[in-house]
Structure 1
Amino acid sequence: MKDSIQTRCEQFIRNRDRIKENFGWENAYLYPLCAAIFTLNEKEAEGALLKNCVGILKQQTGVFSGFRSIIKLPVVSIMAVSEEPDAALARTLRVYELLKENFMASHYLPVAAVAIAQLAEEQNYEYIARRTKEIYKEMKANHPMLTSGEDSAFAALLSLSQKPNEQLITGMEQCYEILKPNFFSGNAVQSLSQVLALGDGMAAEKCSKTLALFDRLKERGYKYGTSYELPTLGVLALSEGDVRDIVSDMMEADDFLAGQKGFGAFGVGKRQRLMYAGMLVQAEYLERNTLQTAAINGTISMIVAQQAAMCAAVAAAAAASSSSSSS
């Protein structure tokens, strides 16, 4: 395994353990997600800083705020990796209030607000909030049974692009039509298509690379998840990395994680573990990524896009897990 990937994997495990030590009663799905937020930002998780951010969150939000639901720990982690947690949360809450004018409250709306607050200029918040709703309405019109609150986070990412709405929606639909026969879950395919629409290039080429990654992993005995894991595979497909190199790196990272406590037979499932291996490997290709739509470009923006996609997806899984365990 490359030294850089080894270092990143070790930091990921270290961050997960520190977060779990300080927040022992959170949903198990959230620890690796938050560890990934720190690791992809090249930060070490610190219990004192995280708890300080929790305090800030409690000061600025009410008991029943969506920011204090299942998504609280990821939001706190994003605050912690920012230079000014207070200001980062204040900007996010300002965007959230704008989004609430057009969206019902959900676990995912705070994620949309986080993405916009990190990537947009403050003077553009109102415009982007309106555009997020416009894009979401187009999604809903095309797929009324599939589109839900989870998609508001992806609509927010798409609203930051300078591609016209029509081009974004067309790109999503082209990807969806190509990919749907290959996967069972229409909802997961829609999420994957939304991620692919962020990148440049022909839909057929982006989908072909996504399927090549999936198939090559499967051929090597590493079955990639076909549910909320798919958007991460899409981000990998948008990089300029060679399919064989990406797959080889993912296999080595997955093998490393499999030997760590909590990622073996009785911990995080194989498919979720492979997804995190993909996220950690992805950093190898960030400098050469092809997310070159005007607002979504560069290493920082790609990390933010990944965070938002993962927060929405993992929050859905965590919420489902919590619901089933309490029923």
Structure 2
Amino acid sequence: MNDKIKANCQLFIENRDRIKGEFPWESAYMYPLCAALYTAKGRRANEEVLREAMDLLKARAGLFSNFRSTVKLAIAAMLDLSGNPEKTLNDGLKVYDKLKESFFSSAFLPIAAMTIAQMAEPYQYEEIVLRTRRIYERMKSNHFFLTSSEDSGFAAMLALSEKTDDALVEDMESCFAILSGMSMSSNAVQSLSHVLSISEAAADDKCRRTAALFDALKKAGYKYGKGYELPTLGVLALSEGDVEDIAGTMGEIDDFLSEQKGFGIFGIGAKQRLMYAGILAQSEYLDKDVMSAAAVSSTVSIIVAQQAAMCAAVAASAAAASASSSS
């Protein structure tokens, strides 16, 4: 493990412990998720500032709002990281209200609203929400029984893409058809196809790289999850890194995490741990030298794909937390 990755892993654990220490009664599944948000920005969590963001969220969002559901800690972290929590929350609530006019709410929708609020200008909100609904309806038309509330979050991310609706839908359908033979959950394959469709790369190429990365991990003795973890693997497949090298780095990170409290046998589980290894590996393989219009476009696509994958991680964490509390 090189020094950069090791420092990133150590920052991730420190952030997890800081956040857990300040909010000891939140779901154990949300601590690493929020730690990943801070670590991705190279930031050390400040407990006092995060608490202020949480208090602001509680003051502005209604008691029964999904902004204050299982994902509230993640939203508070997003507010802190924005640099302007009050404005970001105001904008996020505006987008959320617009999205609610077209969708039933879910753990995805507040996160999607926050992402849109930070990546788009206010004058764009209306069109992005309308486009979100158009894309979702086309998803539903193609996969009626697979498409549900979590896909509204992906539709919102796709609505931020510079690709046309037709191009996105054609690409995701091509990816879905190719990946369906990978013996994975159809629902998870659909989520993965959503993330991959954001990239301009040929469907065959990005699907082949995703499958190759999955197989490389398996060959090295690491069993990657076939559920909501898949979109994160897709983001790494969109990078230009060598597949074997990426798998090796993820293995090193997973080994490191397995020795940390909360990530072992009685922790969040091997599949989610390896997903976080993938998220931490992104800093090594997704750094791009933005020197040209093509590079800028590619970087924007990667950012949107990362946000879509993070939505999937939020949903996975929220679902796991709900299952844990009800058992």
Same fold (TM over 0.5): yes
Does the CA contact (< 8 Å) of 1:54 and 1:76 recur in 2? yes
Give, in angstroms, the shift of residue 234 of structure 1: 0.3
Say which SS state the counterpart of residue 58 (structure 2) adopts. Answer: helix
Give, in angstroms, the shift of residue 272 of structure 1: 1.0
* Whole-angstrom distance in 2 between the partners of 1:169 and 1:113: 22
**Which amino acid in structure 1 is aligned with residue 198 of structure 2?**
L
Task: Give the alignment of 1:260-279 within 5 angstroms.
Answer: 260-279=260-279
> TM-score scaled to structure 2, two decimals?
0.94
Look up the match of 2:70: 70
Does the CA contact (< 8 Å) of 1:238 and 1:289 recur in 2? no
Say which SS state the counterpart of residue 267 (structure 2) adopts. Answer: coil
* Whole-angstrom distance in 1 between the partners of 2:82 and 2:302: 15
**Which amino acid in structure 2 is aligned with residue 27 of structure 1?**
S
1:91 aligns with 2:127: no
1:194 aligns with 2:208: no
Look up the match of 1:146: 146
1:183 aligns with 2:183: yes
Q: Where does the alignment leave 5 or more consecutive residues of structure 2 unmatched?
A: none
* Whole-angstrom distance in 2 between the partners of 1:293 and 1:203: 19
Q: Deviations over 1:149-172 (max 9, x none)?
A: 111111111111121101100100
* Whole-angstrom distance in 2 between the partners of 1:62 and 1:293: 43
Q: Deviations over 1:109-141 (max 9, x none)?
A: 112101211111211110001000100111111
Does the CA contact (< 8 Å) of 1:115 and 1:305 recur in 2? no
Give, in angstroms, the shift of residue 204 of structure 1: 0.5
Residues 93 and 297 of structure 1: is their aligned pair in 2 closer, same or farther, counting only changes over 3 Å? farther
Give, in angstroms, the shift of residue 293 of structure 1: 8.4
* Whole-angstrom distance in 2 between the partners of 1:156 and 1:75: 17
Residues 296 and 321 of structure 1: is their aligned pair in 2 closer, same or farther, counting only changes over 3 Å? farther
Q: Deviations over 1:271-300 (max 9, x none)?
A: 11111111111111222399x98996537x
Say which SS state the counterpart of residue 199 (structure 1) adopts. Answer: coil
* Whole-angstrom distance in 1 between the partners of 2:32 and 2:298: 25
Look up the match of 2:27: 27
Residues 180 and 293 of structure 1: is their aligned pair in 2 closer, same or farther, counting only changes over 3 Å? farther
Look up the match of 1:130: 130
Does the CA contact (< 8 Å) of 2:235 and 2:309 recur in 1? no
After the TM superposition, which segments of 4 or more aligned residues of structure 1 sit over 3 Å from their partners?
Answer: 292-297, 301-305, 311-314
Residues 50 and 141 of structure 1: is their aligned pair in 2 closer, same or farther, counting only changes over 3 Å? same
Q: Deviations over 1:255-274 (max 9, x none)?
A: 11111111112212111111
Number of residue pairs the alignment of both structures matches: 325
Give, in angstroms, the shift of residue 312 of structure 1: 3.6
* Whole-angstrom distance in 2 between the partners of 1:34 and 1:64: 22
Give, in angstroms, the shift of residue 223 of structure 1: 0.9
* Whole-angstrom distance in 2 between the partners of 1:312 and 1:66: 16
Does the CA contact (< 8 Å) of 2:71 and 2:314 recur in 1? no
Give, in angstroms, the shift of residue 315 of structure 1: 2.6
Look up the match of 1:232: 232
Q: RMSD of the TM alignment (CA)?
A: 2.0
**Which amino acid in structure 1 is aligned with residue 146 of structure 2?**
L
1:220 aligns with 2:220: yes
* Whole-angstrom distance in 1 between the partners of 2:82 and 2:63: 24
Say which SS state the counterpart of residue 27 (structure 1) adopts. Answer: coil
Look up the match of 2:166: 166
> TM-score scaled to structure 1, two decimals?
0.94
Does the CA contact (< 8 Å) of 2:19 and 2:35 recur in 1? yes
Aligned-pair identity (%): 55
Does the CA contact (< 8 Å) of 2:232 and 2:275 recur in 1? yes
Give, in angstroms, the shift of residue 314 of structure 1: 3.2
* Whole-angstrom distance in 1 between the partners of 2:277 and 2:305: 17
1:156 aligns with 2:156: yes
